[in-house]
Amino acid sequence: MASASTSDLLGGAALALAGLSIFYSLWAPEIEAASKIQGRDHRADRGPQIRAVQGTRRTRAIPLAFAASLVAALLAPPVIAILAPSISHLLNNPGRALADYNAVEALLVATWLGLVGLAWLSCSAVIALSRKVNQLEVPDATPLRAAAG
């Protein structure tokens, strides 16, 4: 089985981050708008709003969160393999650590952190949209504004 070089991993990670970032930038306004939908007073009148939020969650937020989390998880082992000895080297021999600096490895770690951040934002959006659906599904007996608080 062939082992990927760090530069190959960096290329793949950067491409994945760029692609996912494009989807995030295209879908973020729709996700944000869905999370700010205000419900109508009667539960029976909120059907279109509930379906809109559920659709945005299902077709935008969940796929983006899944893809970003998957790529970040796939890159975690090689990144940890870079970080563990680097941190140990920095702690045990700080004067030599700068001389052994590897820009490609540092960029891979930075790209992975970007993917982790994107996964965090995307998962937060899924949670926010799920809460919005729950808020919109509140029965008429509970005032909608009180359920939002």
- Nearest Cα residue to 106 out of 85, 79, 73, 71: 79
Average pLDDT, the chain: 89
- The pTM for the full model equals 0.84
Q: Residue 60 carries which DSSP code?
A: I
Are 72 and 112 contacting, i.e. CB atoms less than 8 angstroms apart? yes
The answer on pLDDT for 143 being more than 60 is no
Q: Give percent of the chain with pLDDT exceeding 90.
A: 67
Q: pLDDT, tens digit, for every residue of 90-117? A: 888 877 777 778 889 999 999 999 999 9
The answer on pLDDT for 60 being more than 60 is yes
Can you state the angle between helices 47-56 and 6-35, rounded to 10 degrees? 170
pLDDT for position 1: 45
